[in-house]
Structure 1
Amino acid sequence: MASTMANGGDPMVKVNDVLVSGGVEDVYGEDSASADQPITPWTISVASGYSLMRDPRHNKGLAFTEKERDAHYLRGLLPPAILSQELQEKKLMNNLRQYKVPLQRYMAMMDLQERNERLFYKLLIDNVEELLPVVYTPTVGEACQKYGSIFKRPQGLYISLKEKGKVREVLKNWPERSIQVIVVTDGERILGLGDLGCQCLPVTIDVGTNNEKLLNDEFYIGLRQKRATGQEYAELLEEFMTAVKENYGEKVLVQFEDFANHNAFDLLSKYSPTHLVFNDDIQGTASVVLGGLIASLKLLGGNLADHTFLFLGAGEAGTGIAELIALEMSKQTKAPVEETRKKIWLVDSKGLIVSSRKDSLQHFKKPWAHEHEPVTGLLDAVKSIKPTVLIGTSGVGRSFTKEVVEAMASFNEKPLIFALSNPTSQSECTAEEAYTWSEGRAIFASGSPFDPVEYNGKVFVPGQGNNAYIFPGFGLGLIMSGTIRVHDDLLLAASEALAAQVTEENYEKGLIYPPFSNIRKISANIAAKVAAKAYELGLASRLPRPKDLVQYAESCMYSPVYRTYR
C-alpha cells in the first residue's frame, strides 16, 4: 500500500492508505483560492479545451459553468447540462452502491481519480466511513494482489534496479518540485499477504520479487527476477534516500511502508539520525494502538502500568507497539523503560520469548526476552502470564481461538482484545467471536473493519485500530512545524491526542476510537499536538509558532471544492 508523492498544493495522497490532509505551502497558488475566488487553470502551461477536460487536477466535468465553457474553449465538448459538484457526488455514490463486488468499487474509484481528482477526494472525504474499506483495508489487499491485471495508468513513481545510478534524474521526472511527503515501499510485506513485488502502488522501489506466482504471471508489471539483497539492495536505497534529500531538502518526510522486518528496522535505524523518516508499520501502528489502550483505561480502570500485555507476533508491528507502550508507561511512572518492558510479553512462532532463547533471537526481539520457563503455544502463554490485554500482530488468521478468548475472559472482567492483522481474512479473530466467546465482556478492536455485533440483546460496536487515524495528522504536524527529525515523544503525543477525542457517547457503545466520519477534525487535533510537542522539544524550524495550532492545521488541509476558473 505505498503511495504517490505529495506536493505543497496537493493532498498528501496515499493511493490506498487515504490521507486527507493537505500541504502547508502552495507553490502554484492553485489551492490558495477560495471556491468563489477565480483562478486560472494552469500550473506550468495553459490548459484549455479538450486538454483541460483530460487533466484530472483541473477537470470539473459537467460542473464547468457557461462562462468557463466560453473562456476555455469547451463549447460543444460537453452536453449542455450543468451539474453542481454536490449533484455529481450524489450520482457517483448511487453508481458505486450498485457494485456488489468490492474490487469493482475500488476500480471505479481509481477511474474517477484518473479523470477528476477533486471529485474523487470530495467523495472520499464526505463518505469516508463507507469508502475507506474500498480504498483501504480490506479491499486494497485484493487490489494489490491483482494489480497487474487491473493496471491502467501509472499514478506515481517506480524506481527499479534498472535506474540504479540514475535515481536523482528519475526523481526529477516527477512533475512537481515542492515535495513534502514521500511514502515508499519495496513491496515485500504487504498487509498479511507477503511479497507482492511491484504490485502495491507507487512510490515503489522495485528490487524484484520472490513470489513465484507473480514471476510466472504474464500480466506482472515489475522486474522478473528474485529480490536483490545485501549490498545491491542497500546501495539502491542509499541512492534513493540521498537523492530525495538533494532534490527536496532536509524537511521532506519519507514514510517507509510495508518493508519486511529484516529491512524495516535497519532502514529506520540507519536513516533516523540523518533524515526525517517514519515507519508506518512500526511507529504508526504503535501510535494508533497506544491511543486505543489509553482510551480503553476509561472502561478498564487503572493506569497502563497496572496492566499486563501479551502479544502474538513479534515482528515490526508487535515490537513497535510494545516499545511505545513501555515508553508511555515509563513517562507516566518515571520508571526506567527497561523496567516497564517487563509488563509486556511477546509470543512468536517458536513460543513465548524468554531469556533462555536470547542468543538465537533477532536483535529487535531481545529486549522482550524476560525470565520465565519456556512456553510453546499461545493458549499456554495466556494461562501462564494471565494478561489483561491480548494483542495480535501475527498475520495468522483465527489464531485467537475459542479456548484463548475464554481463558482471557476467565481471569478478566473486561478482557481487552486487539486482533490487528490485515486484511480481514488474516484477523486473529472476528468481532463476533470475541464478543460471543467472552459472553459480551470483551473490549474489542481490529485492524480491518467489522460490522456491529448483537449478543444477548445488546449491540456491540467494534473499534478499528486503523493507521489512518495517525499518519495524516502525524505527517501534517511534522510538516507544519518544520520538524527535521522524528522523536518518540511526538508519537506519544499523537497517541494521547487520539485517545482524548473518544467521547462518552463512544464509550457507551464500547468504542475506544472516535468515528472515522470525524477524521479531518481528529487529524487536525493530532497535528496540533504533534507540532506543539515539536516546538516544546526544540525540533521545529518553522518560526514563529502559530498562535492556534489546531486552526493552523485546518488551514493547511486540502479542500476538494471546485475552483472557479477565469
Structure 2
Amino acid sequence: MSTQAYGYDILHNPRFNRGTAFSQDERRKYRLEGLLPPGVNSLAIQIARTHTELAALDSDLQRYLFLSDLQARNETLFYALLMSDPATYMPIVYTPTVGEACQKFDHVFRATRGLYIPIDARGRVKELLRNWPEQDVRFIVVTDGERILGLGDLGVGGMGIPIGKLALYTACAGVPPSVCLPITLDVGTNNASLLDDPLYLGLRHERVRGADYDAFVDEFVSAVQDLYPKCCIQWEDFANFNAVPLLARYKDKVCTYNDDIQGTAAVALAGIYGALRISKQKLTDQRFLFLGGGSAATGIAELISEAMVLEGLDIESARKCSSLFDVNGLMVRSRTDLAEFQKVFAIDHAPINSFVDAVRALKPTCIIGVSTVPKLFNQAVIEAMSEINERPIIFPYSNPTSRSECTAEEAYRWSKGRAIFASGSPFPPVQIEAQHFVPGQGNNVYIFPAMGMAVFATGATRVTEEMFIVAAKAVAEQVSDESLEKGLIYPPQSQIFKASMHVAASVAEYIFDHGLARVERPADLVAHIKAAAYSPTYPPV
C-alpha cells in the first residue's frame, strides 16, 4: 500500500480502503484499531456479503446507487464484485439502468466523481483539469449530455455515462481505474424541465452553440494534450451535428474516437460477421437497411463499407449496399434536408415514407435499428423480412430497453424462428415451440474496453477505422458453434474479460504492425497485455 495516510483518512480513500479486509497487523500499522469491527474478512467474503445486500434491494436503480456508493468507498471491492459476475452487474452499472440514473441524477446525487467543466470556465480549462489528483491520465470519456442514450438532453445528468463507461473499461478489460477520468462539458441544457427544476446541478441556461462551443472544445482538447500527452479521448453521447464534426476535426490530430459512431459500428459489424456464420453467406452479398439516419447509422454503414473494401469491393459499390430511413422516409438524393454525412448513403430512388414499404422495395438481408423509437420493427416489417430472406438478420440496437425497435420474442415469433437476432439492450431467452433461443446483445462493451486496453498497452498515438474492423472480427471469431446453434452471435457476457483480452491482443498487433505504438513491441504480446491489466486484489502491505 503506497500511501502516507493513516486512520480515518485511509477508510475514506477508495483506492486504499479495504474495509473489513484489513488484517490485525495492518490495523495496528495504519492506526485503524477501533475504527473497524474486530472481525477480519477476506475479499471473497466481502464480495459474498455485497452480493447478498444487492439481492435484497427492490430495484436496479437502488442497486446502481448502492454500487456507486461502493465505488466511492472501496474501489477494489467494487471492481472485484463486477468482475466476479459481469453478466449480472454490467446491466446495473451501465445500460439499461444507467439511463434511469441519468434521468434522476440531480435527485439522487451522492459522492462526486470525475470533473465537471462548465463553459463559463473558458480560459481556465487547464486549471480545472489540474484539480484532478492523478498525473497520468490515459483515458477520458467526455460528454456534453445532449444525447444521452435514447433519452435526449439530460445536461450534467449525462455524467453517469462517462462514469459507467470507464467502470467497464476496467471491469471488462483491465484498464487500471487510476488512469481513467470521466468528464462532463457543461454548455447548458435545452431541457426545460431541468432548467425549471430547483435541484438541477448544471448551468441554468440554454445550450451554447457555434463558435463559442467550438472554441471551448478546442481549449479542452488542447489542455488535455498539454497535461496528459498519452491520453485517449472518447467522445460520448454528443448530438449528431456535433459528434460527426468533432470526430472529423480531431481524429487525425490526437488519439481519439467516438464510441457512439465507431464502437457501435464495430459491435454491429461483429454481429454481422457472427450472423454470416449462421447464414453461410458473404459480407459483400449483404444489403442493409437502417432505421435511423444519425451518426450511429452512418458510422455502422461506413464501417461495413470499409470492411467490404477489404473483401474486394470498391468503396462506392460498398456504400451502395447500405440505405438509410429516418423520420422523413427513405434517404434519397432528391431530398433537400440531408446533412453532409448522410448524403454519401442517399440513393437514386423514388421517395418511400413507410419502412415496411422500403423493406419490400429494397429487399435488404439485414435491418438495423438505431432510431431510439420503440416498436418500429413491427409484425409487418419482420414478416416482410422473412418473406425475402431464409434467415433475416434483425438488429434493433437502440438503447435503453424501452427504446428497442422490437423485442427478441417478437422477432423470433413473427419470423417463425428464422430471425438472426441481436439487440442493444438485454432480452431473456425465448422458447418458440421446440426451439430455444438465446438473444445476443450487441453491446459496445465488446469493443470499447478492449480498444482501451490495446491503446493502453501499446501507448497508441491514434485510433483508426481499421482498428475497429480488426476488433469486430476478433469478437466474432470467439463465438462457439454451440452458441450459434442457439442464435447467440456474440460471446457470452459472463466471459467478457477473456473476450476482451483476445480483442485487445488483435488490435494491439495491428497497432504495432502499423507503427502507431509508443512502446517497443514485446516478444509475447498476449503476456504483455495480461501483465498490464488491472487485478482487483488487495496488494500486500
Q: Is this a same-fold pair by TM over 0.5?
A: yes
1:208–1:222: 8 Å Cα contact kept in structure 2?
Answer: yes
> Secondary structure, in 3 states, of the residue corresponding to 2:523?
coil
Q: Does 1:551 align with 2:530?
A: no
| Partner of residue 265, structure 1 | 244
| Partner of residue 148, structure 1 | 106
| Partner of residue 299, structure 2 | 320
Query: Alignment partner for residue 209 of structure 1, among 189, 195, 198?
Result: 189
Identity of aligned residues (%): 49
Work out the CA distance in 2 between the residues paired with 1:151 and 1:118.
Answer: 22
Q: CA deviation at 1:278?
A: 0.5
Work out the CA distance in 1 between the residues paired with 2:414 and 2:262.
Answer: 31
Q: CA deviation at 1:95?
A: 1.0
RMSD, aligned α-carbons: 1.0
| Partner of residue 332, structure 2 | 354
Is 446-455 or 548-557 further displaced after alignment? 548-557
| Partner of residue 515, structure 1 | 492
| Partner of residue 224, structure 1 | 204
| Partner of residue 21, structure 1 | none
| Segments of 4+ moved more than 3 angstroms | none
Query: Alignment partner for residue 262 of structure 2, among 274, 283, 306?
Result: 283
Q: Does 1:108 align with 2:41?
A: no
Work out the CA distance in 2 between the residues paired with 1:377 and 1:339.
Answer: 25
Q: Does 1:164 align with 2:119?
A: no
What amino acid does structure 1 have at the position aligned with 2:523?
A: K
Work out the CA distance in 2 between the residues paired with 1:69 and 1:134.
Answer: 33
**Which digits, 9 at most, give the CA deviation of each residue in 1:62-121, with x for residues without a partner?**
111111111111111111111111011001101101112110010111111111110000
Q: CA deviation at 1:52?
A: 0.9
| Partner of residue 170, structure 2 | none
Work out the CA distance in 1 between the residues paired with 2:299 and 2:484.
Answer: 26
**Which digits, 9 at most, give the CA deviation of each residue in 1:124-161, with x for residues without a partner?**
01111011111111110000000001111110000001
2:69–2:111: 8 Å Cα contact kept in structure 1?
Answer: no
Q: CA deviation at 1:228?
A: 0.3
1:434–1:444: 8 Å Cα contact kept in structure 2?
Answer: yes
Q: CA deviation at 1:372?
A: 1.5
What amino acid does structure 2 have at the position aligned with 1:395?
A: T
| Partner of residue 298, structure 1 | 277
Alignment gaps of 5+ in structure 2:
160-181
Query: Alignment partner for residue 322 of structure 2, among 340, 344, 357?
Result: 344
What amino acid does structure 2 have at the position aligned with 1:346?
A: L
Matches within 5 A, 1:342-491: 342-357=320-335, 359-491=336-468
**Which digits, 9 at most, give the CA deviation of each residue in 1:168-187, with x for residues without a partner?**
11110000000111110000
- What number of residue pairs does the alignment pair up? 519
> Secondary structure, in 3 states, of the residue corresponding to 1:286?
helix
Q: CA deviation at 1:554?
A: 1.4
Query: Alignment partner for residue 223 of structure 2, among 231, 243, 263?
Result: 243
Q: Does 1:330 align with 2:309?
A: yes
Query: Alignment partner for residue 524 of structure 1, among 464, 489, 501?
Result: 501
Work out the CA distance in 2 between the residues paired with 1:464 and 1:552.
Answer: 30
2:87–2:493: 8 Å Cα contact kept in structure 1?
Answer: yes
Work out the CA distance in 1 between the residues paired with 2:402 and 2:414.
Answer: 19
Alignment gaps of 5+ in structure 1:
1-39
Work out the CA distance in 1 between the residues paired with 2:70 and 2:338.
Answer: 48
What amino acid does structure 2 have at the position aligned with 1:554?
A: K
| Partner of residue 88, structure 2 | 130
**Which digits, 9 at most, give the CA deviation of each residue in 1:306-335, with x for residues without a partner?**
1111100110110000000010011112x2
2:289–2:367: 8 Å Cα contact kept in structure 1?
Answer: yes
| Partner of residue 11, structure 2 | 53
- More contact order relative to length (CA 8 Å, sep ≥ 6): 1
1:41–1:47: 8 Å Cα contact kept in structure 2?
Answer: no
> Secondary structure, in 3 states, of the residue corresponding to 1:391?
strand
> Secondary structure, in 3 states, of the residue corresponding to 2:344?
helix
> Secondary structure, in 3 states, of the residue corresponding to 1:255?
strand
2:439–2:487: 8 Å Cα contact kept in structure 1?
Answer: yes
Query: Alignment partner for residue 79 of structure 2, among 121, 124, 141?
Result: 121
Work out the CA distance in 2 between the residues paired with 1:425 and 1:146.
Answer: 16
Q: Does 1:539 align with 2:516?
A: yes
What amino acid does structure 2 have at the position aligned with 1:113?
A: Q
1:96–1:108: 8 Å Cα contact kept in structure 2?
Answer: yes
Work out the CA distance in 2 between the residues paired with 1:491 and 1:328.
Answer: 10
**Which digits, 9 at most, give the CA deviation of each residue in 1:266-317, with x for residues without a partner?**
1000111211110000000000110111111110111111111110011011
1:353–1:369: 8 Å Cα contact kept in structure 2?
Answer: yes
**Which digits, 9 at most, give the CA deviation of each residue in 1:333-374, with x for residues without a partner?**
2x21111111111111111111222x4310010110122221
> Secondary structure, in 3 states, of the residue corresponding to 1:346?
strand
| Partner of residue 494, structure 1 | 471
TM-score with structure 2 setting the length: 0.95
> Secondary structure, in 3 states, of the residue corresponding to 1:184?
strand
> Secondary structure, in 3 states, of the residue corresponding to 1:329?
helix
